[in-house]
Structure 1
Amino acid sequence: MDPLIIALLGIGALLVLLGIGVPIAFSMTVVGIAGLLITTGPDITWASLQMLPMSSIASYGLVLIPLFVLMGNFANVAGISRDLYDTAYKWFGRLPGGLAIATVFASAALSACTGSSVAMVATMSKIALPQMDRYNYKRELSLGSVAGAGTLDILIPPSIIAVIYAIITESSVGKVLVGGIIPGLINAGGFIVMILIRAMLNPSLGPRAAGITWLDSLKAIKGVWGMIVLFGTFMGVIYTGITTPTEAGAIGCVCALVLAAVTRNLNWSAVRSALFETIRTGSFSRGRVSRSGSSVLPSGSTSRRQLW
């Protein structure tokens, strides 16, 4: 059977399993084992299962995942997420649905500082939802803007998903990361336009925020300096070819740590929390990679590229 056909059938089976509520890890494992049995037989399948989990997570590129997560955690310690939302709130709050627009803008900017969409959504939920509740935003808009904007982290680097995709498809990590910038910005722009249109048609969805002057907006610009420094440092060394993405991740961690120290938000409790969250997220991501490796192995690397 054609490897591409097997890959398509495997994706279909995976979607069915996910649709009926089977956990992701088990779904990918079942599809991978079934594909190996069909294409290679039981003996090679058993040998592959003994080797594959270790070989999948031993990739040097996976070092990027904990580095991205740690960089994002240190960025949160530095207060970058809070400053970004405050800046966006001061600039867009006067518009219909302005706080939801500010949430999307801040999430897009925060995506440039953190590799974990879960961490970003959790952070924005704590910062943005209370403000939108204060101005009587409809829950469908406030929750939708936070959840929808959380997906921007998948595209805008540094992105854990982009790293995993690059490793599984044997693509250049640096090119995949850089290639996600424009689609991510287009996606964010689409969210903003849709929120603005809906709020103009139905003002009760997202009332305008009051009491914001242009002077407040100008003063709030200083809140983006941390994001600019961190993203500029991280992507600058990658785009110019000075370092590899892995080395850039380490540089980004140091830069975020320095920003946390400069803003006087650095303390042992915050560092410990950031390290534990990095360990938890990094371990989960490596487990996901090991199972995704077993699920795509039957299709072969060439067919994977053709499929994607």
Structure 2
Amino acid sequence: MTPLEIGYTAIAGLIVLIYLGMPIGIAMLGVSFFGVSMIRNDSVALRMLGAAGNDSLREYLYAVVPLFVLMGLLVTVSNVGKDTFDVFQKLLRRVTAGLGIATVFANAVFASITGISIASATVFSRVAVPEMTRHGYTKKFATGVVAGSSVLGMMIPPSLLMIVYAVLAEQSVGRMFLAGVGPGLLLAVVFSVTILLLALRRKDFVYERTTDMATFEDFPVSRLIVKSVPILALMLVVLGGLYGGFLNPTEAGAAGAAGALVIALMRRALPKRTLWNLMVETGQITVSVLFLILAATFFSRMLALSGVPRELASVLVDGSIGPYGFLLIYLALIVALGCLIDSISIMLIVLPIALPVAEAAGFDLIWFGVLTVVAVEMGLLTPPFGLSVYTIKSAIDDGTLSVGDIFRGAFPFVLAMVVAMAILIAFPAISIWLARL
């Protein structure tokens, strides 16, 4: 077999192993070792595996992963998400479908201090959904809003997916964070417009009964300020330090984790057992992410050795479909994979193949990364996998609410993401203007 044939065989083998249920990291390591052994020999494969582990995991940058994960978990247990929702509920109470729009913007702010979509889905399914149904919104719409807006957690910085992409594409994590600001705000605006259109055109989809505005919890401006202080303080420390150039991403993660710890301690949300459980969960998430990055690094080196990316670049970019034809096929493939496997795994499988092609096509890799994250996040809302949907279902535990209802409620937001992606493709400056300053 030629190296090219071995490379394609390894990709096919990886797909089969994943379909059979093998953990993705182990499957990637296995097919990569097999591919290098076939192209060279076992000793070269062992040395390349060691080099991949050494090169991919010794970076100081990787300290950002546990820090942002810990910050997100601490913020979640401190009821900062509920306070954020209360603030936007107060500010948008007179707007049509105001609770839905409040959920979107509260999720956007919460995303800026957590970076994990599943955390947003868990928090707001318990905070926003009961409040929305109490005020006459259908459960389908309420859970759809939470599912749709939860994807902002992986777009608005800090974002775990942005970190993973930056590592695989050898781009600056700080620049990737900056690149997520414009698209994140665009998604929030598009989601809000979608909610307004649904409220005006499909009232039966949105409302179960007429909303009684007088039943909203009212509280004075002083309490509004008190609820806003922790959120604004964390945003100032993390985003202000990052965008102001005072902190690099790892330092910003450390400052944010320390700030979140202070808030949790002040609110007495951290009994000893809870703190220990958060530390263990942080370690588990970090190890799983770093193991997958190690596997993806080895996989990408095996593919480079086989010549598959170079061959695909010449066929796709120089062929009849052209660069933008490749881009559309790539995004469609990402969305399709999102129906089956989780977000990080999609990126680790596809990017080693796609990045050389995108570079040969002349695409800005930061812009390409933003489109990748948007497409990957669509997979959180599409059946049968739809991780955000299942997270909401498990968090609410309502026998009258089916998974199908949540998927139907989230469908308008999938269409909204398609519109947002088209805008980002047509106007790349939305993604790159801040990152390239």
* TM-score band, normalised by shorter chain: 0.7 to 0.9
2:135 & 2:86 partners in 1: Cα distance? 15
Q: How far did 1:235 drift? A: 1.8
Q: 2:278 — aligned with what? A: 274
Q: 1:202 to 1:15 in 2, by over 3 A?
A: farther
1:218-242 CA distance string (max 9 Å, x none)? 5664222212110111122222222
1:233-290 CA distance string (max 9 Å, x none)? 1122222222321112111111122223344444434423322221222122222212
Matches within 5 A, 1:1-308: 23-26=23-26, 28-29=28-29, 32-33=32-33, 36=36, 43-207=43-207, 208=211, 210-211=213-214, 216=219, 218=221, 221-222=224-225, 223-299=227-303, 303=356, 306=359, 308=365
Name the aligned partner's letter for residue 186 of structure 2: I
Q: 1:135 to 1:46 in 2, by over 3 A?
A: same
The answer to whether the 8 Å contact 2:3/2:39 transfers is no
Q: How far did 1:44 drift? A: 3.0
Q: 1:304 to 1:242 in 2, by over 3 A?
A: farther
Q: How far did 1:54 drift? A: 4.9
Larger displacement relative to structure 2 (145-154 or 48-57): 48-57
Q: How well do the aligned residues superpose, as a CA RMSD in angstroms?
A: 3.5
1:145 & 1:8 partners in 2: Cα distance? 41
1:136 & 1:13 partners in 2: Cα distance? 51
Q: How far did 1:167 drift? A: 1.4
| TM-score computed with the length of structure 2 as normaliser | 0.60
1:86-140 CA distance string (max 9 Å, x none)? 1122233444433332222111111111132222221122212222332343343
2:212 & 2:12 partners in 1: Cα distance? 46
**Stretches of structure 1 lacking an aligned partner (at least 5 in a row):** none
The answer to whether the 8 Å contact 1:91/1:217 transfers is no
Larger displacement relative to structure 2 (184-193 or 214-223): 214-223
2:190 & 2:293 partners in 1: Cα distance? 31
Q: How far did 1:30 drift? A: 5.8
SS at match of 1:211: helix
SS at match of 1:114: coil
Give aligned-pair identity as a percent: 29
| TM-score computed with the length of structure 1 as normaliser | 0.82
Q: How far did 1:154 drift? A: 1.2
Q: 1:143 to 1:44 in 2, by over 3 A?
A: farther
Number of aligned residue pairs: give it: 307
The answer to whether the 8 Å contact 1:93/1:212 transfers is no
Q: 1:2 to 1:278 in 2, by over 3 A?
A: same
Q: How far did 1:181 drift? A: 1.2
The answer to whether the 8 Å contact 1:169/1:305 transfers is no
**Stretches of structure 2 lacking an aligned partner (at least 5 in a row):** 305-351, 366-437
The answer to whether the 8 Å contact 2:129/2:139 transfers is no
Larger displacement relative to structure 2 (6-15 or 112-121): 6-15
Q: 1:28 to 1:143 in 2, by over 3 A?
A: farther
SS at match of 2:204: coil
Q: 1:136 to 1:9 in 2, by over 3 A?
A: farther
Q: How far did 1:201 drift? A: 0.9
SS at match of 2:177: helix
SS at match of 2:203: coil
Q: How far did 1:43 drift? A: 5.0
Larger displacement relative to structure 2 (64-73 or 98-107): 98-107
The answer to whether the 8 Å contact 2:115/2:153 transfers is yes
1:197-231 CA distance string (max 9 Å, x none)? 11221223333452267975856642222121101
